[in-house]
Amino acid sequence: MDDLYRDYILDHYKRPRNFGELDPHDMEALEHNPLCGDELGVHIRVKDGRIEDLRFHGHGCAISQASASIASEELKGMALEQVGELDADWAIELLGIPVSATRRKCALLGLKVVKGAVTGDNSWPVGSG
Amino acid sequence: MKTAESERTTAVSTLDVRDDFPILSRHIDGRPLVYLDSGATSQKPAAVIDAISDYLSEHNANVHRGVYALAQESDAAYESARERIAAFVGWEPRTTIFTKNVTEAINLVAYAWGRTNVGPGDAVLTTQMEHHANIVPWQVLCRERGAELRYLEVDERGELSLDQLDRELARGDVKLVTFTHVSNVLGTILPVAEMTARVRAAGATSLVDGAQAVPHMPVNTAALGADFYAWTGHKALGPTGIGVLHGRTEILEQMEPFLTGGDMIASVDFDGATWNELPFKFEAGTPPIAEAVGLGAAVDYLSALGMERVRAHERKLTGYLLDRLREVPGLRVVGPPEAENRGGLASFTIEGMHAHDIAELANRGGVCIRAGHHCAQPLMRRLGVAATARASVGVYNEPVDVDALIDALLAGRRVFEL
């Protein structure tokens, strides 16, 4: 099996979970990966301080799409406070594949856009490790 | 099957210079390096590497100042490089200015020519197929000067309309027309001489970005008729850090300097300064001396190969590349369909695979190709694609490199279960 393009990565790429529009929504953001022009947006619906539902939209490579898709399943139901504390390590561990320096931004685009929508801080997530 | 393949391969003539390029003996994960990213930067022949090494080992000194032997040797090496580099593209050394790259050359024109010659109500005309380097400086200039930036449209074949150029020029407000010689995404070769003649007849000034042309085909800048022609060393087998701007004498003489400081002055007192003669007026500070020596060796190398032969080789190789890309299911090439009308590159998409993933999987086969927007985001939007993968050839590529690319793309499709 391929190290990077594992079955579940390709599955999430080809059949991304929680993709599309969500209307009405309470929060939204749109981000670009300046290196490749990829675009990823998110709509978030909030209830009782937690993410009730969310949808990603946009286009990108297998790594960025799968990363957003996998993260979307974890983010549903998460407290907004906790979302604000998520770091790069969280996204990369969740993805579960070795990510080279050049593909790191692909892997982090999903988290970047969600944190941007929730906290207004749209800087690239950093890792503790 | 095997026979048909080798027949097809040998039908493409080869320059057979791979051994001149030390880096091409490298292996990536046990596979021979297949370098198909010359559109981004070229690899360097030993002749260039040795010339730079020899200059730094034997002759290094600053130029235009010293009286000692090394300084005189450096002066001679630097100015001899300028003469050979200018002659290589049919221009005069006195109006051949060394910059850092094409981006700096275009910024030089935008700043030192544009600020004086473009004003409120004027227009700058560029094209939809430009590199960001030939868009952003004009956006900044036009915003600052209250001028309008307009674009010639790219059609479905990746070409421009000369009728639209005529219509734009007939509006009477165009001061500058700036366009690429060869598109770095589409590969389109623009009819430069026809375009500059029309621009000249309309009383406007022309600038041509030759970054993707000079390394790959015979270029005679005098015959092309542009007022400014810019290209870069590192794509032309030379080192990074040196670009070239050729300009018409009468225009350069009227221009104020771009960067100011040392070397570009005739005299300085506490109240002001006067400018040095051409080309030094536009070369502030210590110039890229070793880089000029390296680029001088590069144009010597290309001249010895013969640019007609280089173009013939790359045209056949590009034809072979286009033919073989058609074998990959779901693959779509953007730009002119025939190799006759394009430089040595092909940008493409594969249905069901993002360009980044295509490049990543090509690398598994030791094949270096580029993926992304190629610094041409407006064009990508015009083409309706987010990103493309791009294979681009150089003098050192051979049909086996194309074969390795196709094998890697087919293997990549299998990874993606397409």
Return the SS3 of B376. coil
Q: How many CA atoms within 13 Å lie on the side-chain side of B151?
A: 16
Contact yes or no for B401/B34 (Cβ under 8 A): yes
CA distance B190 to B179: 9
Hey, which CATH number is domain B2-32+307-415, 3.90.1150.10, 3.10.105.10, 2.60.40.10, 3.40.50.720?
A: 3.90.1150.10
Contact B386 A39 (CB under 8 A): yes
Nearest CA to B118 out of B150, B86, B93 is that of: B150
Contacts of A62 in chain B (CB under 8 A): 353-354, 356-357, 416
Q: Name the percent of chain B lying above pLDDT 90.
A: 85
Nearest CA to B104 out of B258, B239, B298, B301 is that of: B258
Tokens at residue A102, please? 């050049």
Contact B415 A60 (CB under 8 A): no
CATH 3.40.640.10 spans which residues of chain B? Answer: 49-303
Q: Write out the H or E segment, with its range, that includes residue A117.
A: helix A104-119
Contact yes or no for B313/B395 (Cβ under 8 A): yes
Contacts of B387 in chain A (CB under 8 A): 36-38
Min Cα separation A6/chain B (Å): 9
Min Cα separation B411/chain A (Å): 11
Contact A60 B377 (CB under 8 A): no
> Which residues share a beta bridge with B243?
B99, B232
How would you list the strands of the sheet with B123-127, edge to edge? B96-99, B243-247, B228-232, B205-209, B174-180, B123-127, B148-152
Question: Across chain B, what does the average pLDDT equal?
Answer: 94
Q: Which residue has the tokens 């090509």?
A: B362
pLDDT (average), residues B33-46: 98
Contact yes or no for B74/B61 (Cβ under 8 A): yes
Contacts of A101 in chain B (CB under 8 A): none
Residue B305 Cα distances to A119, B7, B16, B166, angstroms? 60, 25, 11, 38
B8: number of Cβ within 10 Å: 14
Contacts of A10 in chain B (CB under 8 A): 416-417
Instruction: For chain B, say whether A59 makes contact (Cβ under 8 Å).
Output: yes
Nearest CA to B259 out of B104, B68, B82 is that of: B104
Domain residues for the domain of A111 are: 7-118
CATH 3.40.50.300 fits B49-303, yes or no: no
Distance of CA B401 to the CA centre of its chain: 22
Domain count, chain A: 1
Q: Is residue A64 part of a domain?
A: yes
Q: Is residue A106 part of a domain?
A: yes
Q: Which residue of A has its CA nearest to B370?
A: A36
Nearest CB to B373; choose among A10, A36, A59: A36
Contacts of A97 in chain B (CB under 8 A): none
| pLDDT tops 70 at residue B264 | yes
Instruction: For chain B, say whether A39 makes contact (Cβ under 8 Å).
Output: yes
CA distance B418 to B414: 6
CA distance A128 to B116: 52
Contact B386 A4 (CB under 8 A): no
pLDDT (average), residues B96-110: 98
DSSP per residue, B300-314 = HHHHHH-HHHHHHHH
Question: Range with the lowest mean pLDDT among B37-51, B62-76, B138-152, B373-387?
Answer: B373-387
> Which residues share a beta bridge with B246?
B96, B229
Residue B375 Cα distances to B36, B133, B141, B408, angstroms? 18, 8, 19, 25
Instruction: For chain A, say whether B415 makes contact (Cβ under 8 Å).
Output: yes
Q: Which residues contact B2 (CB under 8 A, 6 or more apart)?
A: none
Q: Which residue of A has its CA nearest to B379?
A: A37
| pLDDT tops 50 at residue B325 | yes
Nearest CB to A35; choose among B353, B372, B380: B372
Distance of CA B73 to the CA centre of its chain: 30
Tokens at residue B195, please? 């375009």
What is the model's pTM?
A: 0.93
CA distance A46 to A37: 29
Contact B354 A61 (CB under 8 A): yes
pLDDT at position B3 is 44
Q: Which of A5, A6, A103 to mutate to test the interface with B (most CBs of B within 10 A)?
A: A5
Contact A36 B371 (CB under 8 A): yes
pLDDT at position A34 is 72
Contact yes or no for B196/B226 (Cβ under 8 A): yes
Contact A5 B377 (CB under 8 A): no
Instruction: For chain B, say whether A79 makes contact (Cβ under 8 Å).
Output: no
Residue B186 Cα distances to A76, B258, B310, B339, B342, angstroms? 43, 32, 20, 11, 8
Q: Is residue A73 part of a domain?
A: yes
Contacts of A38 in chain B (CB under 8 A): 354, 356, 386-387
Question: Residue A12 is part of a domain; what is its CATH number?
Answer: 3.90.1010.10
Tokens at residue A25, please? 């929504």
More confident residue, A3 or B399: B399
Q: Give residue-wise pLDDT tens across range B362-396.
A: 998 899 999 988 888 889 888 888 899 999 999 99
> Which residues share a beta bridge with A47?
A50
Tokens at residue B336, please? 């002119």
| pLDDT tops 90 at residue B327 | yes
Q: Which residue has the tokens 């915003």?
A: B143
Contact A37 B415 (CB under 8 A): no
Question: Range with the lowest mean pLDDT among A34-38, B198-202, B335-339?
Answer: A34-38
Contact yes or no for B21/B45 (Cβ under 8 A): yes
Measured in degrees and rounded to the nearest 5, phi and psi for residue B366 equal 75, 15
Walk along chain A (129 residues) and give the pLDDT tens digit of each residue.
Answer: 688 899 999 999 999 999 999 999 999 999 988 777 788 999 999 999 999 999 999 999 999 999 999 999 999 999 999 999 999 999 999 999 989 888 899 999 999 999 999 999 989 999 865
Contact B386 A59 (CB under 8 A): yes
The catalytic residue positions of B are: 375
Contacts of B352 in chain A (CB under 8 A): 14
pLDDT at position B12 is 54
Q: What is the 3-state secondary structure (H, E, C) of A64-105?
A: HHHHHHHHHHHHCCCEHHHHHHCCHHHHHHHHCCCCCHHHHH
B321: number of Cβ within 10 Å: 27
* Confidence band of B65 (pLDDT split at 50, 70, 90): confident
Tokens at residue B117, please? 């010659």
